[in-house]
Amino acid sequence: MTISTSMTLSSPHSSSNSLSFKRFLVLLLAGGILLSVAYALVHLYAMGEYAIAIVTLILGLSSAYLLYDQAATGWRFIYPAMVLVFLLMLFPIVYSVTIAFTNYSSKNLLTYERTVSYLLEQTYAEKAERLRFSLHAVGEQHQLFLKDKHGNQFATAPFNLPDKPKDDELAQLMELPLQATSESPPNEALKMRDVIKVRSALKQLRLTREGEAPLSMLGMREFLPLLPQYEVASDTNLPLPDRSTDLLLDKQSNRYLQANYDTGFFAYLDEKGDFTDDIVTPGFVTQVGFANFLDVFGMAEERWALLKITLWTISFAFLTVLMQFSLGMLLASILNWHRIKGQRILRTLLIVPFAVPGFISIMIFRAMFNTDFGEVNALLEYLFGVKLDWYYNPWLAKLQVLLVNLWLGFPYFMLLCMGMLKSIPEDLYEAANMDGAGTWYKLRYITLPMIIKPIVPLLILSFTFNFNNFNVIFLLTAGGPMMENVSAQIGDTQLLIHYIYGLVKGHTLGYEAYGLGSALSAYLFLFIASISLWQFWLTREKTKSREAVEV
């Protein structure tokens, strides 16, 4: 009895210790998360990744709070799903829209501060002060002798040539002091073929003179002084007194530059202090407001091409869904007919296009539609004596894309319709047969009304998918053939998603226009969302009206 009482009395104390230890581990984990977030924020801020820093801060604080607050235990189970939705859906959308309001591109990649720092690091060679050199071997070392245009001679101490950098390493500059000398070289200069062999090592040398600019190798026989090309304009040399101090002076041309925040480039100024079209690269990222959204429609030549692409994108998505659903519905009805023998074998064969990886089927069709050696043209030539330019005629290329996409997608709708047709009561068809109803009547008043409610969301989903169907056209026609009378690289079979891809990859405009591509992506998102919401609303209204009639 005593032992039992002792055990009973010690159980709460043991349980309390266990809970305290678990609480300590939870708080320790929350503290570790906060420390990790603080460490990450410092590095992200130093790198200029402010958006990622904000996301890291939000996720870190929310994770630590859920661990700290015992009342939020229920949220811990749904929190991972919310994080995934935020990271994979909401954050990319917000980040893309944010980029759309900037001039972010391959021409404007750096921040303003980094651009200024880069320009201040640039140098130019002063060709008026060139010094001819000769290279001499001194044992296992080498020595340089130089002469300027006045006949003054300079020499370095004997030195070892720097090692050639590896492919993944930057060349390390080697500074050598240069002294005036009247001594003659110790031996004959190396021949040109020997100088060429060590040219890469000589280009890594920087020859320094007291009070003079460092010298760098130019050509095969000369060293020239490298002077800073740009410097920050001081208050004493400003061209106009009302200009701010963010001007730069080009010392080579003695012209002034100023940051143009509308374009994101440093532009040269004219005599009046106005910006000219002469700019220097790289540019910097700046806010441009709605300029990208307006530029989408402001390009003269590309405007009509973009309109054609938009119409083709809508037509492609609509026709694809219509053709795939129609063929799938037809095959499902045939396979659902009790008089058809071997339904399992036919069903298995018709599912094969859905089972084979899509890119394999596309590459096979690409070879089959080859103009000169494809099986399709061989069959057409044998039967009708014609050969079609599937890849050079815009309309034939579009027809080819629709046919291949039909092959890839009809098994999906066939399987859906087969399942839905099985769910329709046979009594409805028997009653229709007794009333003498035909096939079209049964399809219109029995089959379609019974499957329309569950199939419409899937049709909308398929329409949305094909609106952004990238792989089929990219692998089959690569967007071609190219449109005529358009300066940009735009194809007749391109969808809007391919046009955006061309913008951000530099194929369309010649440079990677991330901001413009993000603006067009925002338009695309709003268009698809509007169509989807409208179709869902229309389906709901039809369902309500049908239920009202039945009542």
* Structure token digits, residue 123: 């140098």
* Structure token digits, residue 416: 């859906």
Question: Taking Cα atoms as reference points, which of 357, 389, 356, 396 lies closest to residue 374?
Answer: 389
- Tell whether the model's pLDDT for residue 223 goes beyond 50: yes
Mean pLDDT of the chain: 86
Question: Taking Cα atoms as reference points, which of 138, 204, 148, 136 lies closest to residue 176?
Answer: 204
Pairwise pLDDT comparison (455 vs 242), residue with the higher score:
455
Phi, psi dihedrals of residue 373, rounded to the nearest 5° = -125, 5
Q: What is the pLDDT of residue 347?
A: 84
- Tell whether the model's pLDDT for residue 452 goes beyond 50: yes
The string of DSSP letters for 349-406 reads HHHHHHHS-HHHHHHHHHHHT-TTT-HHHHHHHHHHS----TTTSHHHHHHHHHHHHH
Q: What is the pLDDT of residue 67?
A: 85
- Tell whether the model's pLDDT for residue 12 goes beyond 60: no
Q: What is the pLDDT of residues 288-329, one digit of tens each?
A: 999 999 888 776 567 888 889 999 999 999 999 999 999 999
CA geometry: angle 166, 172, 175, nearest 5 deg: 150
- Tell whether the model's pLDDT for residue 218 goes beyond 90: no
Identify the residue whose tokens are 């949220």: 75
- How far is 311 from 394, CA to CA, in rounded Å? 14
Q: What is the pLDDT of residue 8?
A: 44
Burial 436-472 (b: 16+ CB within 10 A, else e): ebeeeeeeeebbeebbeeebbeebbebbbebbbbeeb
Question: Taking Cα atoms as reference points, which of 38, 76, 81, 75 lies closest to residue 56?
Answer: 38
- Spell out the residues 6+ positions from residue 340 whose beta carbon is closer than 8 angstroms to its own: 334, 346
Determine the average pLDDT of the residues in 181-189: 90
Question: Taking Cα atoms as reference points, which of 105, 103, 93 lies closest to residue 55?
Answer: 93
Burial 42-55 (b: 16+ CB within 10 A, else e): eebeeeeeeeebeb
- How far is 475 from 65, CA to CA, in rounded Å? 48
- How far is 161 from 200, CA to CA, in rounded Å? 10
Q: What is the pLDDT of residues 57-114, one digit of tens each?
A: 988 999 888 888 888 878 888 888 888 888 888 888 888 999 999 999 999 999 888 9
Q: Which of 5-19, 350-364, 403-417, 521-535 has the lowest mean pLDDT?
A: 5-19
In terms of residues, how long is the chain?
551
Q: What is the pLDDT of residue 5?
A: 43
- E strand spans, 188-264: 205-208, 215-218, 222-228, 230-232, 247-250, 255-260
- How far is 484 from 461, CA to CA, in rounded Å? 34
Please say whether the beta carbons of 259 and 243 come within 8 A. Answer: no
Strand partners, 132: 147, 222
SS3 524: helix
Using pLDDT thresholds of 50, 70 and 90, give the confidence band for residue 9: very low
- How far is 496 from 467, CA to CA, in rounded Å? 8
Instruction: Tell me the C-alpha to C-alpha distance, in Å, between residue 548 and each of 59, 428, 544, 551.
Output: 48, 21, 6, 5
Within 10 angstroms of residue 57's Cβ, the number of other Cβ atoms is: 15
CA geometry: angle 124, 127, 133, nearest 5 deg: 110
Q: How far is Cα of residue 58 from the mean position of the Cα atoms in its chain?
A: 25
Instruction: Tell me the C-alpha to C-alpha distance, in Å, between residue 185 and each of 137, 232, 511.
Output: 10, 42, 52
Using pLDDT thresholds of 50, 70 and 90, give the confidence band for residue 513: very high
Q: How far is Cα of residue 22 from the mean position of the Cα atoms in its chain?
A: 45
